[in-house]
Each structure stands twice: as structure tokens, then as C-alpha cells.
Amino acid sequence: MHTDWFAIQQLAPGVWALQDPIGRVVPDYDVGVVNLYLVDGHDRAALIDSGMGLGDVMAACRTLTSKPLLTLCSHSHWDHVGGAHLFTERLIHPIEAPRLTEAYDVEGIGTIRRAPPTGALNEGDVLDLGGRTLTIWHTPGHSPGHTSFLDSQTGYLFCGDTCYAGTLWMQTDDANLDHWRTSLQRLAASGATALCGGHEEPRQQPALARRLLTALDDALAGRSTSAPFPFDPGARKHTFGDFSLLLRDA
């Protein structure tokens, strides 16, 4: 595994973004980086998502904290769980737990190792890290067991692939646009101080959730500019300023 692979930036006391350069290895995905977030409490630290598994994410975390570490999976897509096997404690929503139990290969990347969950993330659960908590929100839409995490100290909502300013993958078999819309409404009304998404610039204004909702409605109503998406011939890319939506070609 690579060392010095992640670009690390501190967002707040005890909160860092570790950026995994997915655009360097699979540029056709039209995504630049995967964001992992390390949240450090007095007693233990949580790594929200573990990246592609190409960089040594455990070593990167150990430059930031010496506390016991667990990893929380926003969802089961390979670019978010590739490093999960490095952790002894791994939590994910029960709906997606079976997907971590077998290894599989990803073209251009290699093997994503098995990392069977050691526990579950359910709506309303509160994880105490010591002096700060993460509250679990089930936010389906991008995938059925997608989870977000609200930090009591900063008010940041770590929202995975539900909301970020980049190319959003809404065209996959995992996506449910009705559920996604409901989750975006929840994010928009959350009162979070920032939305920290799973890709691209790590900290966004909460108003982004509302803008995505409007854009999704516009795209589905034919009020958008779109182009083919070469990586997935069944999808079109609808572009709206600082983000784009990939949607099934109707």
C-alpha cells in the first residue's frame, strides 16, 4: 500500500478530511477524490469511510490520533470501504452488511478485501467518542443502507454520497430517486453547520441540498442541459454550475 497517498486537511478541532485521489486511478468516473473523515473524541476516534484501499489509511490516521479507532461506512460502494479490513471494528447499516462479507475485484483497482461488519449503524443510534457524539441518520437514496453522521461538537453532517458539489451518481441500480429526494429534504432541514460529502470539496453550505433537489426536479422535467456519459452508455450527465447529476437515459 502507498504511504503519503492521502491529502489531509484539518476542518475543525479533532476533525480532518483525508482525500483519496480516485480521479488519478479511474478518471472515467468523473470524480476527483473520495473524502474520508477522521473524528477524534477523548476516548476513541472514528474514521467515516476508508477509501479505495490503495493508500495505507491506517498509517495516515495514526499521524493524527493515537486513540482506539473504528471505521464507520456511509455505504458499501468499493471506493468507500476498501480500507475497512484494516480496522478491527467496522460498522455499517444492516441492509448493506452482506456486501462486505466477500472479497471482489474492481477493474483498474484490484481486490477489495472482505471486511465483515462487527456491528450495525441504525437510525437514531448515538456513538459516544468521549466528549463528542456522532448521531446516525439513515439517509437512503444513493444506496439503500446509506448512512449520515451528525457531529455534536461542530454541527457538521457527514453525508457521504447523498450530497456534494461534483458529479453525483444517481443512475446506478442502487439508486432510488424518491428516497434520495426525501434524504435531501432532511439534509436541507437539518440545521447542520456544514455538509461534508463523500467526494470533492469536503465542506459545503447546507443550502447545497436544496439546490440539488431543485436540479433533480429540473432534470427529470427536461429543463436541463445534458450530454452522454461515456463510462455508462445508459446514463446522461446533467450539468448545473458546480455540480452534475448522472441520470438514467429516459
Please work out the total of residues on this chain that contact Zn ion, with binding judged by CB under 5 A: 3
Question: CB of 231: closest distance to Zn ion in angstroms?
Answer: 14
Measured CA to CA, the distance from residue 158 to residue 237 in angstroms comes to 25
How is residue 216 written as a grid cell? 433533480
| HSE-up (13 A, CA, CB side) for residue 147 | 29
Q: How far is the CB of 232 from Zn ion (least distance, A)?
A: 14
Residues between 178 and 237 that touch Zn ion (CB under 5 A): 198
- DSSP reduced 3-state for 215: helix
> Shortest gap between Cβ of 21 and Zn ion (angstroms)?
13
Nearer to Zn ion, 161 or 232 (CB): 161
In the block, which residue shows the cell 433533480?
A: 216
Closest residue to bound Zn ion by CB: 77
Task: Please state, in angstroms and as integers, the Cα–Cα distance from residue 72 to each residue in 11, 54, 134, 171, 221, following that order.
Answer: 19, 18, 10, 25, 36
Q: Strands 15-20 and 34-40: what pairing?
A: antiparallel
Min dist CB 212 to Zn ion, Å, is 15
Q: Which is nearer to Zn ion, 96 or 161 (CB)?
A: 161
Residue 77 as a binder of Zn ion (CB under 5 A): the answer is yes
Residue whose CB is less far from Zn ion, 41 or 51? 51
Provide, rounded to whole angstroms, the least separation between the CB of residue 161 and Zn ion: 4
- Exactly one of 20, 96, 161, 232 binds Zn ion (CB under 5 A); that residue is 161
Q: Tell me whether residue 85 or residue 99 sits nearer to Zn ion (CB atom).
A: 99
Cell of 7: 491529502
CA distance 83 to 184: 27
Give the interface with Zn ion as residue ranges (CB under 5 A): 77, 161, 198
